[in-house]
Amino acid sequence: MPVPYYHVVFTLQASTGALAFHNKTAVYDLLFRTAAETLITIAADPKHLGARIGLTAVLHTWGSALTHHPHVHIIVPGGGLSPDGARWIPCKPGFFLPVRVLSRLFRRLFLEGLAARHEADRLTFFGVLAPLADRCAFDAALAPLRHREWVVFAKRPFAGPQAVLAYLSRYTHRVAISNSRLIALDEAGVTFNWKDYRIKGRDRLKTMTLDAAEFIRRFLLHVLPSGFHRIRHYGFFAGTVRARKHGARPPSARRAQGLARERARRGRQRDRSTFVCAPMPVFRRPDDHRRDVRRPAPRALTVAESDQDRHLMMIVAALPDSQRRFPSPPAASRSRKAISSQRPQTLSRPHAQTRPSHPRHRKNSSSSLQPRTKRATRPQSPASAPAATPKSP
C-alpha cells in the first residue's frame, strides 16, 4: 500500500535463550504470537490508534557473532482500518506506537504463555535446565523476568513500499552468515566479520576467528525445526482475513465440509456392501442378433492382394500352409539363390524393370535399353585392305 511502513523489533531476554533452544517450536511460535498480539492490541486501543492493522513478521535467531539471539522483525504499515472497515486511519507522522507500552504488554503476554505451556507439558528440559521441570522452580526462574525491561525497538520508517519489498527479499532465504562476511579458512580456524552494536560509528565492524568446530556449532544453533515458518502474516495481511473479505470460506470450514463428504461417502459404501444386489438386466438393441462380436476367421487372399510387395511377407505368413504360393524352406541351410529360383513369377516385383535409375547412370541405362546397331564403316580401298592370308590345307 502507498503508506509509510514502520520496522519494529521484539527481542527475548538472554536468560530465556537456553529454554528457547531446547524448545524451538513452542518458544518461537509463542514469540510470533505474543509480538503480533501486542501490536494488534495496542493499535486497536482508541487511546493510541484505534484501528485494525496488518503486519508481516520475520524470525531471526542469530546475532552478528553467530550467538543465539532470538528476535522477530515486524513490518507494519503506519495506520489501519477503522473498526467498521470504511476508512483508513493514519498514525502520527514519524510516530507509530509508544515503545514502553509495547514492551510491558509483550513481557506479560510472553511470560503468561510460557507458564501455560509448562502447565500443559509442552516444554522439555535437559542438562542444567532439568530442575525447571518442577512448577515451583520454573515460577521462581521466571520471577526476575517480570521486573526487567524487555527490548522493543522501533526503527525509522521505510522510504516506501519498494524499500519494504527490498528488505523482505533479503530476509526470505537468509541464513546465519553470508559468504561475503567470510574472510579466511586456515589452520587457525574460520575468520569472518561481525558488528559490535554496543559501539557507535565505524569502529563497530570487527574481525573474529573461531575454531572450525566452534564455528559449526554456532552455525547449527540456528537450524529451525522441519516445517517451521519463519515468515508469518497477521491482521488484515493474514490469508484467512483476505479470504473472508473476498467472500470465500475460511480453510477450516472447507476442510470440515470435505471431511463430512468423505464420511458420508464411506457410509454409503458400507451400506452398499451389506446388501446383496439383484442381477441387473442386460439391455440389447433390436439388431444385436445380426451382429457377431467374435473375432472373424482369416480368409483366403486374392492374387491382387498378394501381389502387393510391401505387405508380401506379412500376407504370406498369415496364409495357411495349403494356400501358400511357394513352399516354406525346409531347412536353414538352403541358399537364398535356391529359394528365390523356386518363387512364382507372380510374386516378383512388376515395377523393378521400370524403376527410374540414378541421374548419374541415366545415360548408360537408356543406351543399354536400345537395340545396338552396327557402326557405319568407311569403304576401304583395295590397296589399303589387308591381304588375305591363305588357309593352310
Q: Give the angle 324-325-328 at the CA atoms, nearest 5°.
A: 60
Query: In b/e form, how buried is each residue of 199-216, taking b as 16+ CB within 10 angstroms?
Result: eeeeeeeeebebeeeebe
Residue 312 has what pLDDT? 45
Q: What is the pLDDT along the chain (393 residues), one digit of tens a residue?
A: 778 888 899 999 988 888 999 999 999 999 999 999 999 999 999 888 889 999 999 998 988 888 999 999 998 988 899 888 888 988 888 788 888 999 999 999 999 999 999 999 999 998 889 999 999 999 999 999 998 889 898 877 776 777 777 777 777 677 888 888 999 999 889 999 998 888 887 788 899 999 999 999 999 989 899 889 888 999 888 876 554 554 444 445 666 677 677 777 766 665 554 444 444 444 455 555 555 555 556 665 555 554 555 444 554 455 555 555 555 555 544 555 555 555 555 444 444 445 555 555 555 444 444 555 555 555 555 554 555 555 544
In sequence order, what are the beta bridge partners of 304? none
Cα 100 from Cα 151, distance rounded (Å) = 9
Helix (H) or strand (E) holding 89: strand 88-90
Amino acid at site 144: P
Distances in Å between the Cα of 110 and the Cα atoms of 31, 61, 113, 376 are: 7, 17, 5, 124
Residue 296 has what pLDDT? 59
Distances in Å between the Cα of 58 and the Cα atoms of 159, 228, 229 are: 19, 12, 9
CB 59 within 8 A of CB 31: yes
Cα 293 from Cα 295, distance rounded (Å) = 7
Q: Count how many residues are written for the chain.
A: 393
Residue 300 has what pLDDT? 59
Residue 189 has what pLDDT? 92
Distances in Å between the Cα of 330 and the Cα atoms of 181, 333, 334, 335, 344 are: 85, 9, 8, 11, 17
Residue 108 has what pLDDT? 94
Sign, Cα dihedral of 44, 50, 52, 58: negative
Cell of 176: 546465519
Residue 33 has what pLDDT? 94
Residue 90 has what pLDDT? 87
Nearest Cα residue to 56 out of 156, 169, 209, 216: 169
Cα 210 from Cα 389, distance rounded (Å) = 121
Nearest Cα residue to 38 out of 145, 150, 118, 141: 150
Residue 216 has what pLDDT? 93
Residue 162 has what pLDDT? 78
Sign, Cα dihedral of 289, 291, 295, 298: positive
Residue 70 has what pLDDT? 92
Helix (H, G, I), strand (E, B) or coil at 387: coil
CB 193 within 8 A of CB 187: no
